[in-house]
A and B are shown apart, each in its own frame.
Chain A
Amino acid sequence: MAKREVLTSEEPVNSDAKTRGGRAADPPVSSEEPSELLRELVAHLRQNRNQLREEWVGRIAETRLLTAMSKEEIFAEATSVYDSYVEALETETFEALQNYARNLSERIIPRGVETHEVVGIVLLLRDVLARSLFAKYQTDFRKLNRILDAYEPAANRIANTVAVGFVQERERVIRQQQEAIRELSTPVLQVRERLLILPIIGLIDPQRARQLTEQLLRGIRTTRAKVVVIDITGVAAMDVTVANHLVQTVEASRLLGATVIVTGLSPEIAQTLVTIGVDLGKMNTVGDLQGGIEQAERLLGYKVMAIAETR
């Protein structure tokens, strides 16, 4: 009976307290500022650091996250994450946390850690800390609410920041690898003075085609090539856009004083070129790479003979 009376008389105060900065209307009992609550929260998290961290690491193991990492590693990273987490809560700034998240991601992505694992452990930490708050303030439901008001937005922002940091780092790595693959897959090779060979293998998309052209033109200028053999034996199919790109590559090379010989056209690609109406009079084509190189050598004034024949 007595308990009920207490609850009823506190109700109007409760609804006031829910509005932001509703300090003016409050009776002395719940007069803390949000920032004071945050300080109290941070102090609690610091005081119970070891215990909470252990609990968190335990939960991580339970849910089988971060299996790519050893126990010691998980513990070390957990310590850093915990401390960064609390610091972010305290300072309400997230740049340091974001940098740490990217830094951490740089280290763990090569280990095969996935996005869901990173998001998972941050959410687990959020839960572990929230539970400890429930435990601490279980006798003062109103205060618990206010503490959670301070804690939740910050905790959610932290989870967000870490997840975004991780994903950004992954995207950066992917972009880097794509670039590397593109560079590797279109080598411009000098096989004689003034003769370049560009063997193309695999799928060409418009972006790769563009990169190819740029690399080739730069190569022509650097090596002062007069003949280029582009071999497309390894290209299965070519759509109209890419075929056009090939034609443009031939034309641009000519403007730099180089003749292009295209070799290794499959019947399918030959069909595509005819369909788009390529003026084959403008494009020098030879059946295979060997024939292409022989023609290139003729154009350059070379004659290759077996040594035995010259005796």
Chain B
Amino acid sequence: MEVPILKQGEFLIATFQAALSDQDLENLRRGLVQQVVKFRSRGVIVDVTAMDVMDSFASRTLREIAHMIRLRGAETVIVGIQPEVAFAMVQLGLTLEGVAAALDLEEGLAYLIEKFKNID
């Protein structure tokens, strides 16, 4: 299953559908970084609203994605983590450390805009 990646100005928005396989996550990791390079994006929003579980593989992949994107000089924000999922994640020790998180798409965009306002 492919993850749709949309362009919104300087930012990219990747929207997870529910139940992504490990292969999907792998593909996303490669695809997303390629898109950042192609469009010279400054920020990426990964919307996981549709995910009702987050396992350690998905969590690690998200961190790796954020890391790789930062190496390209861009910032990543994860948005839409559901309360139940957040609770389950921290109990498993999956805290997505080092990766920014926001409540939803609106907040995610506000975060990125704020971040780059300060830099410019």
Contact = CB atoms under 8 A, between A and B. Distances in A.
A257 B102 contact: yes
B101 A254 contact: yes
A16 interface: no
B46 interface: no
A257 B90 contact: no
Nearest to B54: A255
Given A224-B103, A224-B107, A251-B95, A256 B90 contact: no
B16 to A, nearest CB: 15
Nearest to B85: A255
B79 interface: yes
Contacts of B23: none
B81 interface: yes
B118 interface: no
B23 to A, nearest CB: 25
Output the residue of A213, A252, A257 with the most chain B CB within 10 A: A257
B68 interface: no
Interface in B46-92: 78-79, 81, 83-84, 86-87, 89-91
Contacts of A220: 83, 103
B79 to A, nearest CB: 7
A221 interface: yes
A221 B78 CA distance: 15
Contacts of A256: 81, 83, 86, 101, 103
Interface string A235-275: 00000000000001001111111100000000000000000
A199 B60 CA distance: 34
B3 interface: no
B96 interface: yes
B101 A252 contact: no
Contact-size category for A: 10 to 19
A81 interface: no
A257 B107 contact: yes
A214 B95 CA distance: 17
A214 B87 contact: yes
B1 to A, nearest CB: 24
B62 to A, nearest CB: 11
Contacts of B78: 255
Contacts of B86: 217, 252-253, 255-256
Interface string B90-120: 1100011000011100010001000000000
Contact of A217 (B87, B91, B101, B111): B87
Interface in A179-234: 213-214, 217-218, 220-221, 224
Contacts of A255: 78, 81, 86, 89-90, 95-96, 101
A228 B49 CA distance: 22
A283 to B, nearest CB: 12
B83 A218 contact: yes
A213 B87 contact: yes
Nearest to A250: B90
Contacts of B79: 257
A143 to B, nearest CB: 67
Contacts of A217: 83-84, 86-87
Contacts of B96: 255
A254 B103 CA distance: 9
A224 B95 CA distance: 20
A220 B102 CA distance: 11
Contacts of B103: 220-221, 224, 256-258
Closest 9 CB pairs of A and B: A217-B83, A257-B102, A257-B103, A255-B86, A252-B86, A248-B90, A251-B90, A252-B90, A255-B81
5 contacts: A248-B91, A255-B78, A255-B95, A256-B86, A257-B79
Given A248-B87, A251-B90, A255-B90, 8 more contacts: A214-B87, A218-B83, A221-B83, A224-B103, A252-B90, A254-B101, A257-B101, A257-B103
